[in-house]
Amino acid sequence: MATARLYPNQLPQALQQSVQPAYLVFGDEPLQRFESVSAIVDAGKAQGFDETERLYLDTTDDAMQLAEALQGMSLFASRRIIVVDVGNGKIGKDAGQIFEHYAEQPSPDLLLICHGTKLEKAQQNAKWFKALGKLAVTVAINVPSGDRLTRWLQQRARTHGVQLPLDALQYLQDHHEGNLMALSQELEKLALLYPNQPISVQQLHQSLIDQSRFDVFQLTDTLLAGNQQALSHMLSQLRDEGAEPVVVCWALSREISQLLQLKQHPSNQAQLFKQFRIWPSRQPVLKQALNQLSAEQLQQALLVVAKLERNVKGAEADPQASWPLISQCCQLLMNTNASADWLLAAEQV
């Protein structure tokens, strides 16, 4: 069976022509990955795949649920969409063998979508991935930059009916540091504020209120996305604008606590997202972080933040002196290879 490699901007036209039996959607840009998976699911439903089942796999998973999904029959629909989040691709041996067997004898009544973060070379060379690669269309998710980012933003603005002259478009692009999620959300807001009319740089500036004035929630999103350059810029802005270090500590503590609960209860992710009021537009960022951080790292991170809170809330706390410690804490949280030495490093700050 013929295979193809597509980019997100090519996917809609390809789906209009035909829906293939399987798709591999991998990359580190969460918005495009989330939207690509959603587009494939919608196209599958239009072709009569009536039921959607979503699974999450990692190295510790029992593969029985995957086997049941790919081999079992549904009581409610004859044609099903199976969406499998494989994280960083480091799945268990049993799950890999199930994928290999399925690739040899795919079911015409199933549409399989496997997605995850950018895979390392070892995972790309894994037998299960190569086997599915012969069956599936690959959708490569890359973070656009330069002219590619400009074209993405132009197309996105047209979709929302937002008219941006080149100078305003460049202004918007610069102020969001290439964050596609933030750019998309800003375009949605501009579509409501300035429908069907050109938007000047001055109007855009007023709307953004200088978007470089980041809040603590943008800080945690950037932290989870691993964007060190943007994180450094945000911390500087928050410090210069007089943000309270204790508020930053609260945001970090809240975010890590929620991540730990999501990590410990993967089967209840949908319910927890609803409980924590984490909307679909933000879920890809958290899922990416969950794939990269272990439960042990998140537990250690809570201890690091607890130490940070003691420093910023103490009787002799100096708000300005707290920022180097906050920066150190964020850097430790972004280091996915860190382990017990996190606490030792924090104690020496």
Residues 175-192: pLDDT tens digits? 776 688 888 888 888 888
Is residue 26 within 8 A of residue 115, CB to CB? The reply is yes
Give the model confidence (pLDDT) of 158-175 as tens digits: 988 999 999 899 888 887
Instruction: Assign domain 146-208 one CATH number from 3.40.50.300, 3.40.50.10420, 3.30.420.40, 1.10.8.60.
Output: 1.10.8.60
Answer for the pair 331, 304: CB distance below 8 angstroms, yes or no: no
Residue 113 or residue 308, greater confidence = 113
CATH superfamily of 4-141: P-loop containing nucleotide triphosphate hydrolases (3.40.50.300)
pTM of the model: 0.61
Per-residue model confidence as pLDDT tens digits over 65-104: 888 888 766 555 578 999 999 988 888 888 999 999 999 9
- List, for residues 8-67, the tens digit of each pLDDT value: 989 999 999 999 999 999 998 888 998 999 999 999 999 999 888 888 886 555 688 888
Per the structure block, which two tokens stand in for 130?
């190569």
Predicted confidence (pLDDT) per residue in 117-135, tens digit: 888 888 999 999 999 999 9
Looking at residue 343, what is its pLDDT? 44
Compute the average pLDDT of residues 209-227: 68
Q: Which residues, in sequence order, are CB contacts of 233 under 8 Å at separation 6+?
A: 177, 212, 214
More confident residue, 312 or 230: 230
Cα–Cα distances (Å) from 275 to 23, 101, 182, 261, in that order, read: 31, 38, 23, 11
User: Is pLDDT at 140 greater than 80 in this prediction?
Assistant: yes
φ/ψ of residue 47, rounded to 5: -95, 10
- pLDDT band of residue 292 (cuts 50, 70, 90) is confident
Question: Any idea where the domains of the chain sit in the sequence?
Answer: 4-141, 146-208, 216-347
Residue 131 has what pLDDT?
94
For domain 216-347, the question of CATH label 3.40.50.11540 is answered with: no
pLDDT at position 256 over 60: yes
Residue % of the chain over a pLDDT of 90? 28
CB 67 within 8 A of CB 21: no
* Mean pLDDT, range 270-278, rounded to an integer: 82
